[in-house]
Structure 1
Amino acid sequence: MKRVIALCLTLLFFASCSVDDDGANYSFEILPVESVDMPTEFVLGETYPITISYFRPSTCYAFRDFYYLKELNERTVAPINYVFEDDNCETLTDELVEVTLNFIVTSNGSYIFKFWQGDDDNGESQFLTIEVPVVE
């Protein structure tokens, strides 16, 4: 009897699985930074909000997270967006989105922030570079 129940449960388990994925289809895209609002100096151990603005190309884009590369005291930052595959997307021309990165100051010296602003005509990445000293 136990074998029959186990066999029935196993068959039920496999029959309930579906290979059709009805979830949302999306990809990720890093978007260029338009402008940044940040302090002119930091204090060691403090947390600072850094407001990053970028243009949202269509209604199918939604902020997910930040691309954040840390190399010594240099930080490379750009907003990562979900891009939903949907036929009902509306193109946006001037929708500026502001997102905040909370930055924790963990070392002395200066921090160099490189905010990705897209590629030039030669395919080279362009950055808005801001140096912020750490004061006591």
Structure 2
Amino acid sequence: MKKLFAVMLGLFAMLSFSACDLSDDDATNFYYETMEITSATFPEYFEFGKVYPIEFTYKRPTDCHVYSGFEYNHTGETERTIFAVATVLDRNDCIELTDTEGTDSFDFQVRYTNTYTFKFYVGEDESGEKQYLTYEVPVQETATE
């Protein structure tokens, strides 16, 4: 058992001291950026306790923008702010895209009886103020027949 431990320790030490060449410039650099959300789909109302799929559409500005998901913030008990996030390849040859949209969705569980407000990030105006598409969805205790 001691020999096995010594061999494993030696192997670990060898791997720990091996070096990587960090001067390799062939790697693609990237950063994250929010993208414009152009629309979202909601029911007329929510029923308390149910789960709803919420679909939204986002716009890719260049071919270097690769959709990587979304982020959301609780900005109040029944207010949600949603951002579409792209991984942007840091290249000089990006091509601007027109009319290139994608869709994604998330499941939303209704946990409160107050009206929900969803704010989808669309970008900033000329003065740097964040702009949102806003949807308000009321909640009903039970379904109406």
**Superposed pair shares fold, TM > 0.5:** yes
1:35 Cα deviation from its structure 2 partner: 1.2
1:68 corresponds to: 72
TM-score by structure 2 length? 0.78
Rounded Cα–Cα distance in structure 2 between residues aligned with 1:31 and 1:47 = 26
Number of aligned residue pairs: 133
Unaligned 5+ segments in structure 1 are: none
Q: 1:35 and 2:22 equivalent? A: no
**Which of 10, 18, 21 is residue 20 of structure 2 equivalent to?**
18
Instruction: Name the SS of the counterpart of 1:10 in structure 2.
Output: helix
TM-score by structure 1 length? 0.82
1:53 corresponds to: 57
- The answer to whether the 8 A contact 1:30-1:67 is kept is no
Identity of aligned residues (%): 34
**Letter paired with 2:59:** F
**Letter paired with 2:20:** S
Rounded Cα–Cα distance in structure 2 between residues aligned with 1:83 and 1:117 = 17
Rounded Cα–Cα distance in structure 1 between residues aligned with 2:60 and 2:85 = 11
The alignment's C-alpha RMSD in Å is 2.5
Given the superposition, is the C-alpha separation of residues 134 and 88 from structure 1 closer, same or farther in structure 2, using an over 3 Å criterion? same
1:61 Cα deviation from its structure 2 partner: 1.5
Instruction: Name the SS of the counterpart of 1:34 in structure 2.
Output: strand
